[in-house]
A and B are shown apart, each in its own frame.
Chain A
Amino acid sequence: MKYNQFLKMTLAVALCGSLITGCSKDNDTKTDTEYPVIDVTTSDAFPKQCSELRRGTAFSAKIIVSDNAELGSVSIDIHHNFDHHTHSTELDDCGLDALKTPVNPFTLIKSFPIPAGNKNHMVSEEIQVPATIDPGDYHFMIRATDREGWQTIKGLSIKIK
């Protein structure tokens, strides 16, 4: 019986040991778990959800991003939504035009690296909307990352008239 008691003790000690080492290690990781923030609501930011752009003119895109530690990069992507298949990430519904088949839709993809060490940054870019493209519903996608690789996405619904 002594033998069995010894075994029980050993098991109990091993169990406690594994639980303690397991729990104590958890708190010493100080990793960044915060996503960067894309602010599309402040007055400086453009475009906003439901903004309207005009063909044949240029507009100044202003993307305001921030992060708790260090920003990575920003990417913008303008593509049509004539088929209504994708929708924005935002609450507001801007109302969609009728479905239509694209002929010459506007596509623009551009990435903007952010200099190292920044917690706040504004991407400012003049974008020319060609005169010959199809008017209608478009998406203005903004992707922002921080140095650790956390990404935030905003998909804005816009209209090009």
Chain B
Amino acid sequence: MKLLFLLCCSMVYCMGNAQLYQLAVNVTDPRHNPVPDAQLRIADHKTHVVTDAGGTGLFKELLPGTYYLHVFREGYQPFTKKIAITTHDRSIVVTLQPEAGLLQEVQVNNTTARQRKNQEQLNLEIIKSDFIQKNLGGSLLQSLERLPGVKTISIGSGQSKPLLRGLGFNRVAVIDGYIKHEGQQWGADHGLEIDQFAVEELEILKGAASFAYGSDAIAGAINIKHPVPPAPRSLGGNVNLIGKTNNALYGGSLELHGRTQKWFGTGRITFQDYADYRVPADSLYVYDYPVQLYRHHLRNTAGRELNGHLTTGYISGRFKSVFDITNIYNKSGFFANAHGLEPRNVNTAIHDADSRDILMPYQQVNHFKLINRSHFMIHHHVITMAAGYQNNHRREYNHYVTHGYMPAVYPDTMTIPVNLERAFRKNTYSLNAKDMIAFGNHELEFGFNSEIQKNTINGWSFLVPAFDQKSIGVFIYDKIHLTDRTLLHGALRYDHTGIRIHDYTDWFPSPVAENGDTSAIHISRAGNTNRDFNSITGSIGINHNRKHLSLKANIGKSYRVPIAKELAANGVNYHYFSYEKGNAALDPEASYQIDASAVLDQNRWQVQLSPFFNYFPNYIYLNPTPDHDYLYGAGNQVFEYRQSRVMRYGAELQITYRLLKNLSAEFLGEYLYSRQLSGNKKGYTLPFSPAPTALMNLTFQPIKTAPFHQTYFSVDYRLSAPQNNIVPPEKKTKGFTVLNIQAGTRFIIGKQQARLSLQLQNAFNTRYMVHTSFYRLIGLPEPGRNLILSLKIPFNFLNHKEQ
């Protein structure tokens, strides 16, 4: 008892003796406006403080020592800083960087972007809507192709799929508002159903990103950030108009938004209509068959797009909940003279009468999405939850053409419409949650992702059976601030996926010879199959940031679950003259990758080098065999899914040099090498390996151009080396050079700043082919000269306090 009393006395004595100090924290945004309602926390200190209307929060009684201060505010990136309290009261200013949107410029020297990149474990590029508008392509992905390490597999003028460092299809996860975008990932002949006008900011993560995003992110992820809600007590919108000469595209996007203090709503409608695109050629050869092009038009590549978005939500200092409803609709034709690779006879009189009509073959895609995202801040926790429903419906229409043993005349007893070649319908339900806690020098995140998919098929042609898929993943991630300059990352994840494949039997009989007798049999293409996959992935990374230099290294294991097509395809893909045969015994694909990056940022110079090395013990690829299959393959070459060891390495290099105050030069280069180390294609590369490319840019930004602002003139000179490193059934692709010109400015309309941008793509109408194009195999050139004009005019009905 005495001892306890003494102890208490001594403690009181000590406390009385130790001086307590105040820490005043003033939180502002990058424009130096105060940020109220921000949560300030000092680890190991029981109280947490919320900033007042002036953006100030006060910790009253702090013992001398070193503390980690964490600052959280909805709409801003979390902030952590080491603070030393020594012998006097302190007052510090913290500048929070918005999550997206508020800062419009995309430049490498943008401090927000740099800070974000410096904090991130993987190689990260941040793209803002300005970049997209400046480099607007036929689709979102085509607009991003300027970036090193980003390529697309394109079909026609409006459809493309991402390729990150040469890996694509379902090896890149696309995340839209914290929910994985689930389209028909496996095919090359359709795009990503994302409205590029609705994207305010997106992040491209290159590298083994499965630990953060699960299966499919084995090569990286494209993370589409949700737009920041409009400012309080505002009512306004913007209109975006676009026109392109190559395919006579016209379109527009209208956005309206409004917010009371806590409730907000935005709506957007986007419309695009385009004609057949033009190539710098009069005639083409599909195999040896000559195809005459009418006025350089690639017959039947016209299309249209209609998208609608509705967002509504509630925001307070500690809670935010947002509902998004999106519907993306697209109808586009396929080049009529070659459906896939098959030379087709077409009625040129009908096709050439109108370049805007969409005749057979064509596809129709509708993607509906309903997502809710909620954020809470409770004590030391920042909790994010997202629930989503997606419906993707893709239909491919074509004249009924008999192949193999299909009946010569389509039976009228069939319930499948006569022109419906294939259809896929995917229903996806997702639920994700994560919690972030900051303590000491740690920022700890843990959570789960779960998803249920139901896939059904339709059409008279068969390739992939219907299937159901369930997956769940749990992860933990810690970011440790070792010092102010050094960050350590560690992540661990476990995933389970179950796939249930449904049986399928041909609707028509084929003659099967057995013991000398030939009988007509409806062939069974797929049986009921169940597969379960488990994977553990993880990564360790380090960042070291100095004033002019940022270094990053990361080593990680990523994985991908085989998709239904790889497991159970068993049909003829007439578009490729191939019989594709799945392999039910495939293992989940694993990838080990080392990434590094070094960024040097000095007055005039910015240099970024990002090399990587990647090893797959079991890469899944479609192997063309020497065999032809008479029964299941109707005489076509057999392509089987196999696994092989694969080694890949490469690097991207970005250099920016400011020559004068208003003149800067840029170099963007990428190199990639891949090689199969085992299996039937040992020694060969991987399919769709991009050729080494370089882009040289010169940008002139005159300073005094009033009444115009931020005017730029810019020239991109793109060079591509030949790609002679090929694998069956590819063809070698020659190198090329293409010149693109961009110009743009801003001016005031009413009280708002309108933005005008102009692009001349393929200025010299060069005839060239890109190795990763879907149509490369039949030698279709890339689009010819294209002038793109885009205008964005914001408007405001209610004047709120200027930001």
Contacts and interface: CB of A to CB of B under 8 A. Distances in A.
Given A85-B344, A105-B408, A143-B636, A149 B625 contact: yes
A155 interface: yes
Interface in B329-374: 342-345
Interface in B606-624: 607, 609, 611, 623-624
Contacts of A11: 598, 600, 607, 609
Given A4-B548, A111-B628, A148 B728 contact: yes
Contact of B630 (A33, A75, A79): A75
Interface stretch (B33-41, B285-293, B489-497): B285-293
A56 interface: no
A102 B629 CA distance: 26
Contacts of A107: 402, 405
B399 A31 contact: no
Contact of A155 (B343, B607, B671, B683): B343
Interface string A74-108: 11110110011111111100000000011111010
Contacts of B624: 145, 149-151
B577 A22 contact: no
B729 interface: yes
B405 A149 contact: no
Contacts of A80: 402, 408
A74 B630 CA distance: 11
Given A19-B671, A88-B343, A149-B626, A76 B600 contact: no
B409 interface: yes
Contacts of A33: 724, 726, 732
A53 B286 CA distance: 27
Contacts of A83: 399, 401
Contacts of B408: 80, 102-105
Contacts of B345: 84-87
Interface in B493-542: none
Nearest to A102: B408
A141 B217 CA distance: 41
B98 interface: no
Nearest to B631: A109
A29 interface: yes
A87 B289 CA distance: 8
Contacts of B628: 73-75, 111, 143, 145
Contacts of B725: 26, 29
A111 B288 contact: no
Chain A interface residue number, banded: 35 or more
B635 A110 contact: yes
A101 to B, nearest CB: 6
Given A14-B611, A29-B725, A102-B408, A111 B629 contact: yes
A147 B728 CA distance: 11
Nearest to B549: A7
A89 B625 CA distance: 23
B673 A26 contact: yes
A31 B290 contact: no
Interface in B686-734: 692, 724-729, 732
Contacts of B64: none
B627 interface: yes
A4 B636 CA distance: 61
B290 A91 contact: yes
A155 B289 CA distance: 10
Given A15-B653, A91-B289, A77 B635 contact: yes
A33 B730 CA distance: 9
A88 B637 CA distance: 18
Interface in A1-33: 4, 7-8, 10-11, 14-15, 18-19, 21-22, 25-26, 29-31, 33
Given A14-B611, A91-B288, A153 B577 contact: yes
Interface string B401-419: 1111100110000000000
Contact of A8 (B399, B600, B627, B651): B600
A91 B290 CA distance: 7
Given A90-B289, A91-B289, A14 B598 contact: yes
A22 B671 contact: yes
A130 interface: no
Contacts of A10: 598
Contact of A85 (B401, B405, B630, B728): B401
Contacts of B685: 29
Contacts of A47: none
B679 to A, nearest CB: 12
A13 to B, nearest CB: 11
B186 interface: no
B62 interface: no
Contacts of B651: 18, 22
B343 A85 contact: no
Interface in B653-673: 653, 671, 673
A86 B289 contact: no
A48 to B, nearest CB: 14
A150 B728 contact: yes
B42 to A, nearest CB: 33
A101 B634 CA distance: 22
B635 A111 contact: yes
Nearest to B346: A85
B675 interface: yes
Nearest to B732: A33
Contact of B634 (A103, A109, A145): A109
Interface string A122-150: 00000000000000000001010111111
Nearest to B341: A153
Given A15-B609, A86-B345, A145 B637 contact: yes
B266 to A, nearest CB: 44
B626 A147 contact: yes
A38 to B, nearest CB: 11
Contacts of B626: 71-73, 145-149
A17 to B, nearest CB: 9
B684 interface: yes
Interface string B371-407: 0000000000000000000000000000101111100
Given A4-B602, A29-B725, A91-B290, A149 B402 contact: no
B317 interface: no
Contact of B577 (A25, A111, A113, A151): A151
A19 B721 CA distance: 14
A89 B729 contact: no
Given A85-B401, A88-B343, A149-B626, A29 B675 contact: yes
B626 to A, nearest CB: 2
Contact of A149 (B602, B607, B728): B728
A86 B629 CA distance: 21
B252 interface: no
Q: Name which of A21, A103, A147, A148 has the most chain B CB atoms within 10 A of its CB.
A: A148
Given A7-B549, A149-B626, A153-B287, A143 B728 contact: no
Contacts of A74: 628
B650 interface: yes
Contacts of B609: 11, 14-15, 18
Contacts of A22: 649-651, 671, 673, 692
20 contacts: A18-B609, A22-B650, A22-B692, A31-B683, A72-B626, A75-B628, A80-B402, A80-B408, A83-B399, A85-B344, A85-B399, A86-B342, A90-B288, A101-B409, A107-B402, A111-B628, A149-B624, A149-B637, A150-B624, A153-B577
3 smallest CB-CB distances across A and B, nearest first, come from A72-B626, A149-B624, A75-B628
Given A77-B635, A109-B630, A155-B287, 13 more contacts: A7-B600, A72-B626, A73-B628, A83-B401, A85-B345, A87-B289, A111-B627, A143-B577, A143-B628, A149-B637, A149-B680, A150-B729, A151-B624
